[in-house]
Amino acid sequence: MDYRPWTIDQNMLQRPRRNRKSEVIRQMVQETHVSAANLIFPLFIVDGTFQKSEVASMPGIFRYSIDNLLREIESCLKLGLNSFDLFPNIEESLKDKYATESHREQSLYLRAIREVKKNFPEACVVTDVAMDPYSSDGHDGIVENGEILNDETLEILGKMALAHAQCGADIIAPSDMMDGRVGYIRNLLDENKFTNVSIMSYSAKYASAFYGPFRDALNSAPKFGDKKSYQMNPANQREALLEANLDELEGADYLMVKPALPYLDVIKLIKDNTELPVAAYNVSGEYAMIKAAIQRGWLNEQRAITEVLTGIRRAGASAILTYHAKEVLENKWL
Ligand code: PBG
């Protein structure tokens, strides 16, 4: 039986290919754009001077001592890349059970925030609030008898957040996944008159295999067990909405999903259910995966990277934290 309702030459009114017939038209009807304004560049910091060491599992990404960090930020600003998320690599001897180094006035991290804001007040500095880089257990909370304590951890996270605000942080980003931390931090910031410091909450942060290279960069892997009692189960979507709703009620200014690529549905879901801007973290393992394939000549670098970033934007992310941020601007790929 011929079920076609029309014959091809007469009646095909809709031919979507017409809108793809030239570069000019393709660009005219393009729905999603990525620009420098959407990007946040994560940067790793180490102690010392003149330091610049490449992360083995993240080709092209380095740990910088503060002097070189300032040079790196200056070169990014020249490219129109204005937002940075800082992460510290802390010497093992400075780690303890309560992450005390995280709020010590002269710690590497707090010095770095102050220096960046002093030299580049116009740059937007995002700071990471979590215990793991400073914790001798390598976890995001206080560990007792193999358990991660929630409410006791909030106090330390609060001290960190307040210290970051005092050093000039623009946006505080709690990445620990303790319950109630957004409300706790918001309240503490407000009590201390930091009502203008924003909170970008890692709302839906999954217990992911894709953080491996980041933990190499910071030497911050858990010393025992895993993070499944606080980071989310990759199989869950509705739970992400619960987390996002709570963070919004507690005063978050941005809701983040992390990682990005295996969780585009979660980005879209949260975007459809909030008026707040949504951020997505295109994490270290996603970067490593792309770079490894490119090094082998298996993918076209420019096309693969811009497709990844466009996909994350299309899913609904306003801000993308990505290790590709500088290279896409340096190479004028956007
Ligand atoms: C830790 C933290 C992690 C990342 C950002 N903050 C790792 C983890 O939870 O173990 C991962 C970022 C990346 O993989 O690029 N609080």
CATH number for the domain harbouring residue 193: 3.20.20.70
The pLDDT of residue 54? 98
Are 148 and 139 in contact by the 8 Å Cβ rule? The answer is yes
Which atom of ligand 1 sits closest to the CA of residue 222? 10
Residue nearest to atom 8 of ligand 1 (CA): 211
pTM exceeding the 0.85 threshold for the entire prediction: yes
**Domain count of the fold of the chain:** 1
Specify the pLDDT at position 3.
Answer: 64
Could you tell me how far CA 216 lies from the centroid of its own chain? 17
CA atoms within 13 A on the CB side of 65: 8
**CA 115 to CA 161: how far, in whole Å?**
17
Q: Is position 9 within any domain?
A: no
- What is the SS3 assignment for 30? coil
Joined together, the tokens standing for residue 8 give: 């091809």
Residue 134 in any domain: the answer is yes
Per-10-residue mean pLDDT of the chain, 334 residues long, equals 63 89 98 98 98 97 98 98 98 97 97 98 98 97 96 98 98 97 98 98 98 95 95 98 98 98 98 98 98 98 98 98 98 96
Q: Is the CB of 215 under 6 A from ligand 1?
A: yes
Residue 119 structural domain: 33-330
Q: Which two tokens stand for residue 241?
A: 């909405």
Q: Domain for residue 27, yes or no?
A: no
Expressed in angstroms and rounded, the spacing between residue 25 Cα and the centre of ligand 1 is 41
The pLDDT of residue 13: 83
214 alpha carbon – ligand 1 mean position (Å) = 6
- pLDDT at residue 274, rounded to an integer: 98
> Residue 223 falls within a domain, yes or no?
yes
- Where b means 16+ CB within 10 Å and e means fewer, 152-176 reads ebbebbbbbbbbbbbbbbbbbbbbb
Q: Any residues with CB less than 8 A from the CB of 188 and at least 6 apart, and which?
A: 158, 161, 162
What residues are annotated to the active site?
205, 258
What is the Cα 25 distance to its own chain's centre?
Answer: 34
Beta strands 147-149 and 142-144, pairing class: antiparallel
Using a 6 Å cutoff on CB, does residue 132 contact ligand 1? yes
Residue 8 domain flag: no
Report if residue 272 sits inside a domain. yes
